[in-house]
């Protein structure tokens, strides 16, 4: 079985210009983050996403918009019945793809 994802791509200079569609193998229980990690390893290493704890849901870094709802990629289950649309967290400047500027202001260089 296959899950299909539409992922918004773009950089700070050209934010949110396009969606790219990926097909990933579906396994019961798999998460959106699993799919994004699979895409990075198997199809497109340039896809940018923030995550640290992988799926313990303690680092809280992987917050994005999934089908229009804000959620953690690491705990949102993948589904295979319809295309899932992934966007960067709304209201934050985009750095690249699904990565937004979520660092506290005092943790930035500039």
Partner 1 sequence: MTDLATDILIVGAGGAGMYAAIAAARAGAERVLLVDKSLIGRGGATIMAQMTVAAALGEECPDDWHAHLDDTLAAGRGLCDENLAALLCRDAPARIREMEEWRVGWARREDGRIAQVTAPGHSRPRCCYVDFLNTGPAVAATLRRRIGQIAAIKRVSNLAVTDLVISEGEAAGAVALDIAEGEPVTIAAKAIIIATGGLTRIYHRNSASANMGGDGHALALAAGAELVDMEFVQFFPIGHLAPRLVGMDPIMWDPFRYKLGGRLLDGAGREFLADYGSDESEGYTTPRDIATYAIQKEVAAGRGSPHGGVYLSFTHVPRSALAAAFGPVIERLKKNGIDLGTVPVEVAPIAHYHMGGIAVDERMATRVPGLFAAGEAAGGANGANRLSGNAIPEALVFGEQAGHAAAHYAAGRCLPNWPSRAGAAAIDQIRSLSEGCKGDIAAVELLEGMREVMWGDVGPFRTAAGLARAIARFEEMRQVLAQVAVPAGQQFNAALADWFELRGSLVAAEAVAHAAAARTESRGAHQRDDFPNTDPSWARSQRLAMTSDGGLMMDTRR
In the bound state with partner 1, the residue whose beta carbon lies nearer, of 6 and 40, is 40
E strands, the chain, in order: 2-9, 18-25, 63-66, 69-72, 84-87, 94-96, 99-100
In angstroms, the CA 104 to CA 50 distance is 15
By CB under 8 A, the residues from 73 to 102 that bind partner 1 are 74-75, 77, 95-97, 99, 101-102
Going by the DSSP 8-state scheme, the letter that residue 104 receives in this structure is -
In the bound state with partner 1, the residue whose beta carbon lies nearer, of 4 and 50, is 50
Residues in contact with partner 1 by CB under 8 A are: 11-13, 27-31, 40-42, 45-49, 51-61, 74-75, 77, 95-97, 99, 101-104, 106-110
């Amino acid at each position: 079985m296959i899950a299909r994802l539409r992922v918004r791509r773009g950089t700070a200079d050209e934010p949110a210009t396009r969606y790219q569609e990926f097909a990933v193998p579906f396994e019961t229980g798999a998460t959106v983050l699993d799919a994004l990690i699979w895409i990075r390893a198997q199809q497109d290493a340039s896809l940018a996403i923030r995550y640290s704890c992988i799926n313990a849901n303690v680092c809280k870094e992987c917050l994005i918009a999934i089908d229009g709802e804000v959620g953690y990629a690491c705990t949102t289950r993948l589904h295979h019945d319809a295309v899932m649309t992934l966007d960067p967290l709304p209201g934050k400047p985009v750095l690249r793809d699904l990565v937004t500027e979520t660092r506290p202001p005092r943790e930035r260089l500039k």
